[in-house]
Amino acid sequence: MYTPPLQDQKFIIEYLLGIDAINALQNTDNIDKELIWSILEEAGKFASSVLAPLNHSADKQSSSISKDGLVTTPDGFKEAYKAMCDSGWTTLDAKTKWGGQQMPMSISAAVSEMWHSANMSFALCHLLSQGQIYALEKSASEEQKRKYLPNLVSGKWTGTMNLTEPHAGTDLSKIRTKAVPDGDIYRISGQKIYITYGEHDMAENIIHLVLARTPDAPEGIKGISLFIVPKILINADGGLEKQNDVRCISLEKKLGIKGSPTAVLQYGDNAGAIGYLVGEENKGIEIMFGMMNHARFSVGLQGLSIAERAYQQAVNYSQTRVQGTPLACENGATINHHPDVLRLLSVMRAEIDAMRALIFIGGDAMDRAENAPSEKANYNQNRASLLIPIIKGWITELSVAHCSDGVQIHGGMGFIEETGAAQYFRDSRILPIYEGTTAIQANDLMFRKTIRDEGSGIGALLDEIESEISQVADSHRTAMLQAASDVRLTLERLLSRANEPRFLASNAVSWLMQLGYLCGGWMAVKSADKATLNSATLAQDFVKTKQICADIYLQHSLPQVAAYAAIINNEENAILNMDVSWLNRQTA
């Protein structure tokens, strides 16, 4: 069972972002509240009635591969994908020019949240297509756009990203896949791994975007080019021609997201797969980096989604399970009345609500960066690029902890796969890893977004937080001002060590987490404040919940800001004194 969190989503859109403000950013038709609400409501119905019921069975069944490399997705996926396309859901955020509805990120994020909560394995397919659409819109030739975008937007074809090779994961400079020029085209050969939906049965064609190296390319990251490699070649009329020289040689057996096929793709076993260069040679990494913000934002969003689903599962279970008589309750009261179950659920709720607000604020910042008047574009671009590693890193780390708490609330039943809680725990574990591990996000935040501009971006964020929280209820203001001040002190310390990169790198994840907890507090008290200000038009229980969630966040989550300050604000980081050889155990 999945309940679309529409009340919370609408609240953020209406009172934290503002419909007028969203509209002011639009470069297309006016979108009014009625339209937005109806999109969210319809998406909620599709998520809860079509996608959610397939989630657990897909996990049990997994995607599978036949001897001849054909991949079968779990029962129901094919039909659900067709229904998704027929309803136009794949077109939501694409440009109207290519058949899209050009909705702002803040709206499409709300819809995507529901897809991933309902069925993360399923929703991954379109997530990859979205990334490819974004990359092609920015970097492909007009001819390429006309050839691929309409069918990618409609969902008739799906897209993949082919970056990783066995020896080249985080470090793409080690890519060895070859691209040899052959007239207008290139012949691609090599092996790519971890290709999500690299092969499947839900669409008539799959368009691979492949990073590869031309024969005379410079070594390293500056010698990598990007190619379009369709699974089935396309003729001049746009029709499907013949199979390209690419095949799926195996699927990974994974800890989670088992419904989604994760393929090993072999290119060029025969004449070489036909590939078409995107942009210029040796600019592949730049193009990939250009879409990275969107991809990382999407994974942070998945963190919110899986935590929300685990939360709902735990709430539902706690409302029906009777075990022991909770303090001050009648015999037969359900376990949600046990103080510690209530603690686990309430802290999850407070953190998830803060995560959601931060995601929507982040999506809005990305919208503004692209569409705001030029004098503010730079400011908004900086803000978006600052929030993205926090959204990706902090939210996905929390999501794993939440899914773990979701299991805990179920007691012994949580460890039995049939219950479903264990699946979220398994599914969530990929999120702090793919699209750049938490450490990669943290290094980005530390070096590119804290040290490089000498703290001015972070300083501006802190100014804004402090200015906003000066308005909120006394009980919330004091703790938040203290936390913001702790972060300022940490920032100063880090800036004073700007020429000690190992010290900075050793504290990078702590810095990311500290900022994440601060931003979460900002969102929690801002939400409580806006709910209070608009209590005349909001449900009273909802207003109280937002106020109490802020109380809970400040008491249970915000203390981590000071804990991370205690870790970072030292002359040295003790871990740097650990010799790697000492980590080995000795038998004598």
Applying CB under 8 A, which of residues 22, 153, 202, 552 lies at the interface with a second copy? 552
Of 195-203, 277-285, 378-386, 428-436, the segment contacting a second copy by CB under 8 A is 428-436
Write out the binding residues for a second copy, residues 156-185 only, by CB under 8 A. 164, 167, 169-171
Write out the binding residues for a second copy, residues 77-136 only, by CB under 8 A. none
Residue partners of 307: CB distance under 8 A and separation at least 6? 348, 351, 352, 355, 395, 398, 399, 402, 403, 428
Applying CB under 8 A, which of residues 439, 460, 481, 495 lies at the interface with a second copy? 439
Applying CB under 8 A, which of residues 21, 489, 533, 563 lies at the interface with a second copy? 563
Residue type present at position 405: D
CB of residue 19 vs a second copy: minimum separation in angstroms?
A: 17
* CB-nearer residue toward a second copy: 363 or 432: 432
CB of residue 32 vs a second copy: minimum separation in angstroms?
A: 18
414 counts as binding a second copy under rule CB under 8 A: yes
* CB-nearer residue toward a second copy: 233 or 505: 505
3 counts as binding a second copy under rule CB under 8 A: yes
Write out the binding residues for a second copy, residues 241-260 only, by CB under 8 A. 252-256
- Asked whether the beta carbons of 55 and 423 are under 8 A apart, the reply is yes
* CB-nearer residue toward a second copy: 467 or 577: 577
* CB-nearer residue toward a second copy: 72 or 506: 506
Write out the binding residues for a second copy, residues 33-62 only, by CB under 8 A. 41, 44
Q: Which of 332, 350, 372, 364 is nearest to 476 (CA)?
A: 350
- Asked whether the beta carbons of 192 and 210 are under 8 A apart, the reply is yes
CB of residue 442 vs a second copy: minimum separation in angstroms?
A: 7
Helices 339-371 and 508-533: angle between axes, nearest 10 degrees = 90
* One-character DSSP codes across 296-327: HHHHHHHHHHHHHHHHHHHHHHHTT-B-S--T
**Taking the CB of residue 124, how many other CB atoms lie within 10 A of it?**
23
**Taking the CB of residue 208, how many other CB atoms lie within 10 A of it?**
25
Rounded CA gap, 414 and 395, in Å?
23
Applying CB under 8 A, which of residues 400, 472, 513, 538 lies at the interface with a second copy? 400
- The residue behind tokens 């599914």 is 427
Applying CB under 8 A, which of residues 297, 425, 511, 522 lies at the interface with a second copy? 425
- Asked whether the beta carbons of 360 and 352 are under 8 A apart, the reply is no
Rounded CA gap, 75 and 86, in Å?
19
Question: CA angle, corner 356, sides to 366 and 162, nearest 5?
Answer: 55
Q: Which of 435, 464, 466, 571 is catalytic?
A: 435
Number of residues that bind a second copy (CB under 8 A): 106
CB of residue 375 vs a second copy: minimum separation in angstroms?
A: 38
CB of residue 412 vs a second copy: minimum separation in angstroms?
A: 5
Conformational region of residue 238, where left means phi above 0, alpha means psi within -120 to 50, and beta covers everything else: left
Write out the binding residues for a second copy, residues 296-355 only, by CB under 8 A. 312, 315, 318-319, 322-324, 327-328, 336-343, 345-347, 349
DSSP designation for 75: T
Q: Is 417 a catalytic residue?
A: no
Write out the binding residues for a second copy, residues 505-534 only, by CB under 8 A. 505-506, 508-509
Catalytic site positions = 435
